[in-house]
Chain A
Amino acid sequence: MEVKSLFIIAISSIFINNFVLSRFLGICPYIGVSKKIDSAIGMGFAVVFVMTLASMATWLINNFLLKPSPSNLFYHLFSAKEPPDLMFLKTIAFILVIAALVQFVEMVIQKLSPGLYRSLGIYLPLITTNCAILGVTILNLDLNYSFIESIVHGFSAGVGFTLALILMAGIRERLELAPIPEALKGIPIAFIMAGLMSIAFLGFSGLKIG
């Protein structure tokens, strides 16, 4: 049961509710970093990595600091009468956690693997304002996912993003050579391509799992 539901979360966030093509999250990097396959792969890995970590970190923060539940740490710390409801701080807390996390990951990668840093480094600062990251953490909350489910969701949503990004980069490399009306060159044609890809991904919505 447990494994099956995790599998369903993974498949649906990669294909059916693809972050880019159906939920409209992470559009800026999707259009901005999809000109070359190499950079698309770099960006994709960085996003998968940060999304998984962010899902983990925000779940812990939410459940032990913000949520009014018996496991709330403030509740024990100040021996309050009832658990405090700090949910209104979620947006500010999550975005700060993500910003800090990105900084931290950048430092660690720089120390441990300069090679990886050279290939991922330039994408990391862009990630803080990638709405796919904040989006996945808020969705985890809205969908009431458990710790494990959140991690799986974060990871597979990142994979879905990477998939859409790499496919797009592949198409755009070829578009360079195609005869396109002058006015549609560059970003407009990229959006029209994204629309066609999104139509293809609509097909997955008929998928019946489980």
Chain B
Amino acid sequence: MKDIIKLGGILLLVTVIAAAALAMVNSVTKPKIDEQKKLVIENALKIALPLAHKDAIVKVDSSEVEYYKGYKTPEKNELVGYAIVAKGQGYSSEIETMVGVDTAGAIIGLTVLHQVETPGLGTKIEEIRYGEEKPWFQVQFLGKTPEDLAVEQDGGNIKAITGATISSRAVTNSIRDALNVLKEHLQKAEEAVKE
């Protein structure tokens, strides 16, 4: 019995030392990690809301949905659109995209925030062809509204990547769902204002 207490004590001591060391490392890396995360979102917002001023994008965190509002000038008087993060299960990972729409609901910009799909197949959702500026798969989405969004196999007009229908479908459907949620929320908010 005494033995168990002694051994347990040693193990506890080792664990406490380890935890303390990690707490120290964490205090150094945490600000860096948070900064990285912020940077990723900021860069994505620039692509999703190309017309918005960089200091005039506000995060709205209502209980139902989290999204961003973009204004043209730093004074925040002319609304240019909304941006929202869409998440969908792809082939081997959850694909996260940041997508921006104008006030009429048409897509004005999008970019992939996170994906770990199969190299050479699913990763083509981010592929930029030689001589082009934007990923060809994503360009298809520009100007479309949620009703238009579905891959060709599902009767829509987004051309899926050959051999990577699952990834293509994940991106398309997750964006459509996220935009529908956003639209519903905005309509509700508008009605609430009218009342």
Contact = CB atoms under 8 A, between A and B. Distances in A.
Nearest to B166: A205
B76 to A, nearest CB: 29
Chain B residues touching A, range: 10 to 19
A205 B166 CA distance: 8
Contacts of A17: 92
A47 B30 CA distance: 35
B22 interface: yes
B156 to A, nearest CB: 15
Interface in A1-36: 17, 22
Interface stretch (A49-57, A88-96, A178-186): A88-96
A96 B12 CA distance: 11
A169 to B, nearest CB: 26
A206 B26 CA distance: 42
Given A205-B91, A205-B166, A88 B26 contact: yes
A96 B15 contact: yes
A199 to B, nearest CB: 14
Contact of B19 (A85, A89, A205): A89
A88 B94 CA distance: 22
Nearest to B25: A88
B115 to A, nearest CB: 13
Contacts of B104: none
B146 to A, nearest CB: 20
B189 interface: no
A177 interface: no
Given A89-B22, A92-B22, A143 B15 contact: no
A47 to B, nearest CB: 22
A206 B167 CA distance: 11
Contacts of A205: 91, 166
A88 B26 CA distance: 7
A87 to B, nearest CB: 9
A22 to B, nearest CB: 7
Contact of B18 (A85, A92, A206): A92
Q: Which secondary structure dominates where chain A touches chain B?
A: helix
Interface string B1-45: 000000000000001001100110110001000000000000000
A88 B91 contact: no
A206 B25 CA distance: 44
Nearest to A23: B92
A88 B20 CA distance: 11
Interface string A69-89: 000000000000000010011
B174 to A, nearest CB: 14
Contacts of B92: 17, 22
A88 B22 contact: yes
Contact of A92 (B15, B25, B30): B15
Contacts of A206: 166
Nearest to B33: A88
Nearest to A144: B94
A85 B27 CA distance: 11
A143 B166 contact: no
Contacts of A143: 94
A135 B18 CA distance: 22
Contacts of A88: 22-23, 25-26, 30
Contacts of A22: 92
A17 B23 CA distance: 35
Contacts of B19: 89, 92
A17 B25 CA distance: 34
Interface string A195-209: 000000000011000
User: Which 8 pairs of residues, A with B, have the shortest CB-CB distance?
Assistant: A88-B26, A88-B22, A89-B19, A92-B18, A89-B22, A205-B166, A205-B91, A143-B94
